[in-house]
């Protein structure tokens, strides 16, 4: 069975990619909406503001980096 991403998941993936690659000030909500295939009202309904979206995207990125480091450390634990 195919699992489809929720609007929130799709937006978080898109935001993580665009914000990391192009920077916070270079990525508008319009661009995020276009790239994620969502509307601006959907984004604001999910997060309330661009700042809240950016904060969650940064937290998600930090969690991913932390998990990767923990896996590498566990693989080389003595």
Cα angle vertex 19, ends 16, 22, to 5°?
135
pLDDT at site 2: 72
Distance, C-alpha 43 to centroid of its chain: 12
Confidence of residue 29 (pLDDT cuts 50, 70, 90): very high
Q: What is the pTM of this model?
A: 0.79
Q: For residue range 32-78, what is the model confidence (pLDDT) as tens digits?
A: 999 999 999 999 999 999 999 999 999 998 999 999 999 999 988 76
Residue 18 and residue 4: Cα distance in Å, rounded? 21
Q: Write the DSSP symbol of residue 48.
A: S
pLDDT at site 43: 95
pLDDT at site 3: 77
pLDDT at site 31: 96
């Amino acid at each position: 069975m195919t699992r489809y991403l929720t609007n929130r998941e799709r937006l978080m993936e898109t935001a993580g990619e665009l914000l990391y690659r192009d920077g916070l000030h270079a990525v508008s909500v319009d661009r995020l909406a276009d790239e994620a295939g969502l509307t601006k009202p959907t984004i604001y309904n999910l997060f309330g503001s661009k700042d809240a979206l950016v904060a969650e995207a940064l937290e998600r990125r930090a969690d991913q980096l932390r998990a990767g480091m923990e896996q590498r450390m566990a693989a080389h634990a003595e």
